[in-house]
Structure 1
Amino acid sequence: MLGVSGPIAYGIVAENMPQKDMKVCFLGSYCVGKTSITQRFVKGRFDEEYISTIGAAFLSKSLFFQNIEYRFALWDTAGQERFRSLAPLTYRSAAAALIVYDITKQDSFDEVDFWLSELRREGPEGILIYVIGNKVDLEAFRVVDQDVAEKFAQTKGAFHFHTSAKTGQGVEEMFFNLCQMDFTKTSLKENGCMHHQNTVDVSNSSNSDANNGGHRDRCRCRNT
């Protein structure tokens, strides 16, 4: 029996369905909520008592989308500068990288460009990159302009999402979108449409605004 921790499955969950392993790394400054997002996604909870990550931590969870089981291996990296040398060990073989910033801290957003540059230089070809504005439950204290952040991500060929690890807003949608984008990219490759293109067009993809009212397919989740 599959444990349900979210919406119903999109499509039919069949036995012996294809599986796809997806390594995803979390990058970003100290105390932006990387660990809290992974905990919310995998365990469905938010811990008020913050414990900083030392080095890197690992969690896993599966999503079912388009009759494929996407098996996520989530690598949560420490945000302190002294641990930055460990980050390439997680993102060099990753299918996707989620760069998280705190919408109430401008310096955390300023660091996003550093990680984008690192991923473009050292990351694998075709890696999906997401820029995540976390802590939208603190909207009243926002200092990072939403439009600026979204346009910045788009100019860098990255997806942009807003999340709240505390309330859960946008977290499942973000991972659902990751499945959708990977499925689209794989389909394009199989149909010979991508050639040497290394990124998926994000102009029509879901973003933080679309999460609040746009059309959304559904998925089923389980912890592994």
Structure 2
Amino acid sequence: MSYAYLFKYIIIGDTGVGKSCLLLQFTDKRFQPVHDLTIGVEFGARMITIDNKPIKLQIWDTAGQESFRSITRSYYRGAAGALLVYDITRRETFNHLASWLEDARQHANANMTIMLVGNKCDLSHRRAVSFEEGEQFAKENGLIFMEASAKTAQNVEEGFVKTAGAIYKKIQDGVFDVSNEMINDVQNRMACVTIPVTLFRVAE
């Protein structure tokens, strides 16, 4: 299927926060309760429509372990958007957001759109991070924010699509350029990845 734009996303955050589950819910509309830890990167893709224009999202889900940080950093190049994910039931994953954000801003395009996602909002009875805390962190750091649940699919679609909408607006305003270099970067990585990668079904 042809498309007007291709947006590369990267999903970042601590291990076990549900990054792979968010990706699978968005691309396949299903929840996998038992999911192996991501080793290296996983990949998914899906077509969406914004302003009557077909847009292809190519999404790289990264490992959260510190030992894979150098691999994760190499995938920031060419990214138009990022989902920075924490688990609302695990305070330490929220406390580590500043480190992830520093990494993203150091290695990615300065105009990359970042969506902060508080995952597992279906477990509100076990909440360790308030909605207001997530909202405040996002406000202080110029991020978009929402809570979501990969299990129930609440706000999953909205998170990916709202990020794309913000990227599209930056393009229309002339502050972001989805260049051929970005597209080539994605294609080259697909051809050259040598670490273990799981390819999800492409939803169109």
Query: Shorter chain as normaliser: what TM range?
Result: 0.7 to 0.9
Equivalent residue letter for 2:80: A
The CA distance in 2 between the partners of 1:76 and 1:182, in whole Å, is 19
Name the counterpart of 1:148. Answer: 133
Q: 1:86 aligns with which of 47, 55, 71?
A: 71
Partner of 2:97: 112
Coordinate RMSD, CA, aligned: 1.7
Alignment check: 8 A CA contact 2:7 2:164 kept: no
CA distance in 1, matches of 2:74, 2:56: 19
1:54 pairs with 2:39: yes
Which structure has more helix as a fraction of its residues? Answer: 2
Matched, 1:45 2:30: yes
Superposition pairs of residues 175-186 of structure 1, within 5 angstroms: 175-186=160-171
Q: Offset at 1:110? A: 0.8
Aligned residue number for residue 202 of structure 1? none
**Cα deviation, residue 54, structure 1:** 0.5
Q: Which has the larger radius of gyration?
A: 1
Do structure 1's residue 223 and structure 2's residue 171 form an aligned pair? Answer: no
Q: Which residue identity is paired with 2:157?
A: E
1:24 and 2:4 matched? no
Q: Counterpart of 2:172?
A: 187
Q: Which runs of 5+ in 2 are unaligned?
A: 177-201
**4+ residue segments displaced more than 6 Å:** none
Normalization by structure 1: what TM-score? 0.76
Q: Cα offset for 1:71?
A: 0.5
**Conserved 8 A contact 2:114-2:163:** no
- Name structure 1 gaps, 5 residues minimum: 3-15, 196-221
**In structure 1, distance between residues paired with 2:70 and 2:64:** 11
Q: Does 1:69 align with 2:54?
A: yes
Please give the per-residue CA displacement for 1:92-122, whole angstroms capped at 9, x wherever unaligned.
Answer: 2200111100000000011111011112222
Q: What is the aligned-residue identity percentage?
A: 34
Q: Distance in 2 between matches of 1:179 and 1:67?
A: 13
Give the letter for the 1:223 counterpart. Answer: A
Please report the TM-score for the alignment, with normalisation by the length of structure 2.
0.83
Q: Tell me, in whole angstroms, the C-alpha distance in 1 between the residues paired with 2:35 and 2:105.
A: 31
Could you list the per-position Cα deviations for residues 163-197 of structure 1 after superposition, in whole angstroms to 9, with x for gaps in the alignment? 100000000111221222122112211xxxx59xx
